[in-house]
A and B are shown apart, each in its own frame.
Chain A
């Protein structure tokens, strides 16, 4: 009993910290959606207008679905580009392995904001991509990347790529070499080894990467705000505007709850899908 009490006392600070710093703000946020707030001042009345607005106005559903679609596309693009990078890392040795690792980790050394500004310079009408394609004669007029969906997807994919690659890399590194050797000895082709041995064994890494990238892309603010422009509305961008510009805190809180619930549901669904794909893991 004494041991149990000391264990409780031991975890109490962590529980308290998590409650104060994470759960309480979330609860407050959820509750704020039920208060009537006029330009940042609480009127003293309870109101459902924040939640009612987001459930009755199709504009919010449109913004929510757009955000969902962008997060899904970015996750897919990160998987398509990230898996080969992790595979090259797995297959490399010595200095090459270190070089791949450095390339994957290097973008994390700068903030998302700085990288987004970098992309603004690269993707502009007079940016590096357009200038190169124009000078090579591939294009006759500049392509609009900036302030379009294309620009947002390019920026988000680059920003999110390490979060996909790292879990897959670590998953591949735990693969016993004997497995691949056994498959080859039993007559499997390279493709069969990759598809039937490596991919299923790295599903836990893929599951981790997919969940991480999806949640981060779904709630990302700076990249859509900077590369999409003021009229490119994703849920986090619209929450910021509702809170900071319109000062409609109750509606902003309702939208933030929508974002939170959307993320939680997405994680739940992804977990269920991957559990089905990995029956051995459950």
Chain B
């Protein structure tokens, strides 16, 4: 009898934590879990968005989780219906996949009063599901103490940069953007990435960082002197005293819109929609556009701060000189490109 009691107790002890995990997401009714950026880039989201949101909604807690788009997608897929997140931020290429796979919610436009202030081209970039929260630029960052300034994307192939270059894999939007840009520069297109591979091989040897954040850290440690980088990461590194310059190379820095969506399986859909609406407000977006973050505002009511032209286009005309990709066409080749990159440059 005692053995049965011991066995039963142990079984219960084993299963209870599993049962409580299932309960957790619903019992924490007032918590909104939001995927955000890692590191310093999360600061404006905490100070100017989630903290005021908590104050405006008594009893609500916003938990900002720093994560990369690809990790977020993998986790949501792995949890199969019980998403650990309520609101996610995805770069345009990931957003397209998310919409196609149907795990983000179609947020009713009527719930987004601030959407009227958003540039229409950015709204369509997010496939009319979530909101275009910001845009970022992929340009070239370089250390002026170690190398000279590039002017165009094609300058990366110049001999003076040989052995000084850093890259990241197409698993990240940054790395994927560089592959697409290389293809387009050398006779390919978003739908034909083949010309990129021989040209990328010519760039070698280069250091390949596992993520954009890791690539930024390589500048800090002196491992690379030049690399394609996000404008925001370059700005933050420069703020921390690193000798780093950011160039928007010809024919134009690559624009990647970040979309914010409510996850379909979220238990906090209504709160999530309100969070999305606050995100695209002129007040919050004007904070995001300031130094040192330099996130491109999607709200037309935001004036670009003076002196920020190194990192973001100052006017609508400047923005028109940036490069906009047909991500919908490119994203079909992403898995294939990621795998090919691994095989081409695997050591």
Contact = CB atoms under 8 A, between A and B. Distances in A.
A241 B221 contact: no
A9 interface: yes
Given A40-B74, A125-B221, A244-B70, A13 B10 contact: yes
B14 A17 contact: yes
16 contacts: A6-B3, A13-B11, A21-B14, A39-B101, A40-B74, A59-B346, A120-B221, A124-B221, A147-B223, A149-B347, A229-B210, A231-B169, A238-B342, A244-B74, A245-B74, A247-B73
Interface string A39-57: 1110000000000000000
A173 to B, nearest CB: 36
B11 A16 contact: yes
Interface centre among B7, B101, B214, B345 (most CB of A within 10 A): B7
A149 B346 CA distance: 12
Interface string A19-55: 0110000000000000000011100000000000000
A245 B347 contact: no
Nearest to B2: A6
Contacts of A244: 70-71, 74
A231 B346 contact: yes
Contact of A9 (B6, B171, B207, B209): B6
A41 B81 CA distance: 11
A238 B223 CA distance: 24
A228 B221 CA distance: 16
Contacts of A246: 335, 338-339
Interface in B147-187: 168-169, 171
A72 B207 CA distance: 26
Given A120-B221, A124-B222, A241-B171, A231 B345 contact: yes
Interface residues of B, number: 34
Interface string B319-345: 000000000000000010011001101
A40 B342 contact: no
Given A13-B11, A39-B101, A225 B221 contact: no
B194 interface: no
Interface residues of A, number: 39
A59 B343 contact: yes
Contact of A229 (B14, B207, B222): B207
Interface string A216-251: 000000000100111111000010010111111000
B78 interface: yes
B103 to A, nearest CB: 9
A244 B69 CA distance: 11
Interface string B3-28: 11011001100100000000000000
A121 B221 contact: yes
Contacts of A6: 3
A21 B14 CA distance: 10
A5 B346 CA distance: 56
A181 interface: no
A9 B222 contact: no
B97 interface: yes
Contact of A230 (B7, B11, B73, B209): B209
A207 to B, nearest CB: 32
Nearest to B102: A41
A233 B11 contact: no
B77 interface: yes
The 6 closest A-B pairs by CB, nearest first: A40-B77, A9-B3, A13-B10, A126-B222, A244-B74, A230-B208
A107 interface: no
A178 B340 CA distance: 63
B223 A10 contact: no
Nearest to A62: B346
A41 B101 CA distance: 9
A59 B345 CA distance: 12
A17 B10 contact: yes
A39 B14 CA distance: 32
Interface in A81-129: 120-121, 124-127
A230 B218 CA distance: 13
Interface in A141-158: 146-147, 149
Given A9-B4, A246-B335, A232 B347 contact: yes
Contacts of A146: 223
Contacts of B97: 39
A125 B222 contact: yes
B223 A125 contact: yes
Interface centre among A229, A230, A233 (most CB of B within 10 A): A230
B207 A147 contact: yes
Interface string B203-214: 000011110001
Given A231-B345, A241-B342, A124 B223 contact: yes
A145 to B, nearest CB: 11
A12 interface: yes
A130 B71 CA distance: 34
Interface centre among A13, A39, A59, A124 (most CB of B within 10 A): A13
B4 to A, nearest CB: 6
Nearest to A117: B217
B210 A10 contact: no
B6 A247 contact: no
Interface centre among A17, A147, A232 (most CB of B within 10 A): A147
B347 A233 contact: yes
Nearest to B5: A9
A247 B94 CA distance: 13
B168 A13 contact: no
Contact of B70 (A121, A225, A245): A245
